[in-house]
Chains A and B, each alone.
Chain A
Amino acid sequence: GIQVEQSPPDLILQEGANSTLRCNFSDSVNNLQWFHQNPWGQLINLFYIPSGTKQNGRLSATTVATERYSLLYISSSQTTDSGVYFCAVDSNTGNQFYFGTGTSLTVIP
């Protein structure tokens, strides 16, 4: 299956700081999504972004499919941004969805 690597594994930010999370994947994909798992365990869809750039408020994401990576940008971080951010991809040969191991973000006031 596809290998999905996320970096950094852990990140601690002061409130108001910006950050960039990275997701590398090993093969061509049809689907790439970013999720936020909040401290209550809910997995919330942030972006569906197999290619290109999208923005939603303080969050934006860019996927460069030809180079097999995606970036999630968080600007002016808030304590409510804390949690684990997952990148997940499918393969273009099947319907399995592969998750990375996540980036654990802690935003301190």
Chain B
Amino acid sequence: GAGVSQSPRYKVTKRGQDVALRCDPISGHVSLYWYRQALGQGPEFLTYFNYEAQQDKSGLPNDRFSAERPEGSISTLTIQRTEQRDSAMYRCASSLGATSSDTQYFGPGTRLTVL
């Protein structure tokens, strides 16, 4: 596609449920990043992939959060046993090269609300 796409755009779930957020990067982009953005704040780094390899997951807040990119393209961020504090905008970005020195292009985000 022409840009980074994310689905769903909005997700409302009840506390304790699992959610899976999808990111489809720009075709051919090597790197894929996940960020979380709270209201009134800038995005915060969660994790990063080069191809299918998860290079850095130091930003994942706890073990309820996990991410995968099994074929080096589409990525899924999974949050298990959601809590109200998980409510935020979850953003995905991709870049052509294998390092953060390249321009990152962001998707529209998934707005997650945990009731």
Is the interface on chain B under 10, 10 to 19, 20 to 34, or 35 or more residues? 20 to 34
B92 to chain A, nearest CB (A): 11
Stretch of B11-19, B51-59, B67-75, B78-86 that contacts chain A: B51-59
| The one of B33, B55, B106 that contacts A45, using a Cβ cutoff of 8 Å | B106
**B102 and A31 within 8 A (CB):** yes
| Separation of A71 and B96 alpha carbons in the complex (Å) | 25
> Contacts A43-B109, A45-B106, A96-B58 known; A31 to B42 CB distance under 8 Å?
no
**B91 and A43 within 8 A (CB):** yes
**A94 and B56 within 8 A (CB):** yes
**A97 and B56 within 8 A (CB):** no
> Contacts A30-B99, A30-B100, A48-B103 known; A96 to B48 CB distance under 8 Å?
yes
By beta carbon, the residue of chain A nearest B43 is: A99
**A95 and B103 within 8 A (CB):** no
A43 to chain B, nearest CB (A): 4
**B42 and A45 within 8 A (CB):** no
Chain B residues lying within 8 Å of A98, measured Cβ to Cβ, are 45
A83 to chain B, nearest CB (A): 13
**A102 and B42 within 8 A (CB):** yes
Say yes or no for A25: interface residue by CB 8 A criterion: no
A-B residue pairs, 5 tightest by C-beta: A99-B42, A90-B100, A43-B106, A95-B100, A30-B101
> Contacts A41-B89, A45-B104, A88-B42 known; A96 to B99 CB distance under 8 Å?
no
